[in-house]
């Protein structure tokens, strides 16, 4: 077998088969004297990082490397998919390195929601998952809100050290880094180091900072239990809120059910008649029915009336699993990771949330 070709930029093994995976290079680029992967190519020529993803072993390797550094870790999460975009092992690997936790996509939150409440919840949720960030901040990488403040926080906490940006795919990590490059990078081409020894690199993109240290973009890991991976590209556009969310209000009584496409379901099991306020993508189709008819409806209409998933995605779609919640607060958000949440009143109200096996659901005090 041939010697593997190694990217002269980042040292990753070159492959020509999967565009989304690390090391991809178009076959014709192999003819060149110096071969670099597409990711390095785009950074070099367009000052732009590209979204690549890794398998779990590679990611574990990167996490392990992070632990051996003296650096600031910036962890980017999607506030609409906080648990889905969590990196479960991270806190065990970072050792004493500080972690700055950033919640992205703040632009889609309804204006009525106070950012301080979300920050408070993120702190709490991080702690519950074993991570104690030095700070928590919200931003919109796409719109730019909070990005400069995030950059200031990075400067404050890195204290001259390198910076590693981590996050799973789809949280907006590339959008964020590309914005940083635009703000701070000027027009010069980024130097791509060529001294990497194959197999020892972090597969990371190196963005030089002005004091000689670097900002590294780590490849995003695929969290298979994310809702985003259960639908196709077009469907993902439907479920991902892209504009400020307009809440939808449903007056419900016991025995009624809401379907969020065919992706999740919420049964109002016990409590006084009241409004259920849905915070999800404006494009997501919501269907109300009687709970007693819900199973039948799902069986017969998943992929048609209850969509997404569309007809092409239903076959491998995992079964919905039931989670019962007795609401602990006067005003509770029932969270469907990757979709959004529903605000329900009344302490003691009993609801049943159904999510695809593996996808996270839970409650929190309402924003
Ligand atoms: P990565 O996989 O983490 O690098 O994520 P990308 O930067 O490729 O972004 C994933 C998706 O989220 C894309 O569709 C982006 O347009 C979108 N996105 C990124 N940042 C934001 C943001 O601040 N707000 C909104 N609404 N969408 C964003």
Q: Are residues 248 and 165 in the same domain?
A: no
- 214-222 average pLDDT score: 77
> Do 207 and 281 share a structural domain?
no
348 in a domain, yes or no?
yes
Same domain, 118 and 146: yes
- For the chain, state the CA radius of gyration: 22
**What does the pLDDT look like over 292-338, one tens digit per residue?**
999 999 999 999 999 999 887 888 889 999 999 999 999 999 999 99
CA angle 19/172/129 to nearest 5° reads: 110
| Average model confidence (pLDDT) across the chain | 86
Does residue 230 fall inside a structural domain? no
On whether both 206 and 257 belong to a single domain, the answer is: no
Provide the pLDDT for residue 201.
40
Mutation test residue for ligand 1: of 106, 175, 177, the one with most atoms within 8 Å of CB: 175
Is it the case that residue 354 has pLDDT exceeding 90? Answer: yes
Predicted pLDDT of residue 295:
97
Of the residues 221, 255, 281, the one at which a domain ends: 221
Is a pLDDT exceeding 60 seen at residue 250? Answer: yes
The answer on pLDDT for 202 being more than 60 is no
Taking residues 249-278, what's their average pLDDT? 97
Is 21's pLDDT higher than 90?
A: no
Give me the pLDDT at residue 185, please: 60
- Give the pLDDT band (50/70/90) at residue 363: very high
Note whether residue 352 is domain-resident.
Answer: yes
Distance from residue 103's CA to the centre of ligand 1 (Å) = 12
CB of 172 within 6 A of ligand 1: the answer is: yes
Residue 82, in any domain of the structure: yes
- Mean pLDDT for 68-76 is 93
Q: To the nearest 5 percent, what fractions of the chain are helix, strand and coil?
A: 25, 30, 45
Among 193, 221, 249, where does a domain finish?
A: 221
Count of the separate structural domains present in the chain: 2
Overall average pLDDT of the 130-138 stretch: 96
Same domain, 339 and 258: yes
Lowest mean pLDDT among 13-27, 146-160, 333-347: 13-27
Lowest-pLDDT range, 184-188, 269-273, 350-354? 184-188
What is the rounded CA–CA span in Å between residue 67 and residue 293?
Answer: 52
Helices of type H across 68-134? 90-93, 115-128
How much is the pLDDT for 218? 79
On whether both 214 and 261 belong to a single domain, the answer is: no
Determine if ligand 1 sits within 6 Å of the CB of residue 203.
no
Read off the pTM. 0.83
Cβ–ligand 1 contact at 225 (below 6 Å): no
At which of 190, 221, 252 does a domain end?
Answer: 221
Best of 142, 176, 220, 244 for a ligand 1 pocket test (most atoms within 8 Å of beta carbon): 142
By most ligand atoms within 8 Å of CB, the mutation choice from 109, 172, 229 for ligand 1 is: 172
Residue 231 in domain: no
Confidence label for 193 from pLDDT (cuts 50, 70 and 90) = very low
Domain limits for position 42 = 27-221
Does residue 60 or residue 336 have the better pLDDT?
A: 336
In a domain, 315, yes or no: yes
Ligand 1 pocket member 150 (CB < 6 A):
no
73 and 104 part of one domain: yes
Q: What's the confidence (pLDDT) of residue 90?
A: 86
Give the domain CATH number at 168.
3.40.50.300
Asked, for residue 20, whether it belongs to a domain, the answer is: no
Q: What is the pLDDT of residue 51?
A: 59
pLDDT higher than 50, residue 39:
yes
- In this structure, are 259 and 329 located in the same domain? yes
Residues 217 and 248 in one domain: no
Residue 121 and residue 259 share a domain: no
In this structure, the strands spanning 320-326 and 350-356 are antiparallel
Q: Give percent of the chain with pLDDT exceeding 70.
A: 89
228 lies in some domain? no
Please choose, from the candidates 319, 321, 318, the residue with its C-alpha nearest in 3D space to the C-alpha of residue 361.
321
108 CB near ligand 1 (under 6 Å) = yes
Q: Domain check: are 212 and 245 in the same one?
A: no
Please report, rounded to a whole number, the percentage of residues in the chain having pLDDT higher than 90.
Answer: 55
pLDDT band at 191; cut points 50, 70, 90: very low
From CA 89, how far away is CA 333, in angstroms rounded?
26
160 and 302 in a common domain:
no
CA dihedral over 113, 117, 119, 124, signed as positive or negative:
negative
Residue 351 has pLDDT above 80, yes or no: yes
């Amino acid at each position: 077998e041939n010697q593997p070709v190694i990217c002269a930029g980042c040292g990753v093994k070159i492959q020509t088969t999967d565009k989304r995976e690390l090391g991809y290079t178009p076959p014709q680029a192999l003819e060149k004297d110096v071969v670099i992967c597409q990711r390095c190519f785009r950074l070099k020529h367009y000052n732009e990082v590209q979204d690549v993803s890794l398998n779990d072993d590679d990611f574990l390797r990167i996490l392990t490397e992070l632990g051996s550094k003296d650096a600031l870790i910036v962890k980017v999460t999607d506030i609409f998919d906080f648990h889905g975009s969590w990196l479960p092992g991270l806190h065990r690997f970072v050792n004493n390195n500080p972690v700055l936790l950033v919640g992205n996509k703040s632009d889609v939150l309804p204006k009525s929601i106070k950012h301080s409440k979300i920050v408070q919840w993120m702190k709490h949720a991080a702690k519950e998952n074993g991570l104690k960030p030095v700070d928590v901040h919200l931003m919109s990488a796409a719109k730019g809100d909070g990005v400069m403040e995030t950059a200031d926080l990075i400067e404050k906490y890195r204290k001259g050290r390198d910076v590693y940006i981590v996050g799973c795919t789809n949280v907006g990590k590339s959008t964020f880094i590309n914005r940083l490059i635009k703000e701070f990078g000027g027009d010069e081409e980024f130097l791509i180091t060529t001294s990497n020894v194959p197999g020892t690199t972090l597969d990371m993109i190196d963005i030089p900072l002005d004091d000689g240290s670097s900002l590294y973009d780590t490849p995003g890991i695929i969290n298979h239990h994310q809702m985003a991976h259960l639908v196709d590209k077009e469907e993902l556009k439907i479920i991902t809120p892209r504009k400020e969310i307009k809440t939808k209000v449903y007056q419900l009584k016991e025995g009624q059910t809401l379907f969020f496409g065919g992706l999740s379901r919420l049964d109002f099991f016990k409590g006084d008649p009241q409004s259920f306020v849905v915070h999800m993508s404006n494009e997501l189709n919501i269907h109300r029915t009687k709970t007693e008819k819900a199973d039948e409806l799902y069986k017969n209409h998943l992929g048609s009336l209850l969509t997404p998933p569309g007809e092409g995605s239903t076959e491998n779609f995992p079964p919905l699993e039931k989670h019962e919640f007795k609401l602990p607060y006067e005003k509770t958000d029932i969270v469907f990771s990757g979709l959004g949440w529903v605000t329900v009143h009344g302490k003691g109200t009993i609801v049943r949330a159904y999510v695809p096996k593996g996808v996270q659901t839970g409650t929190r005090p309402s924003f």
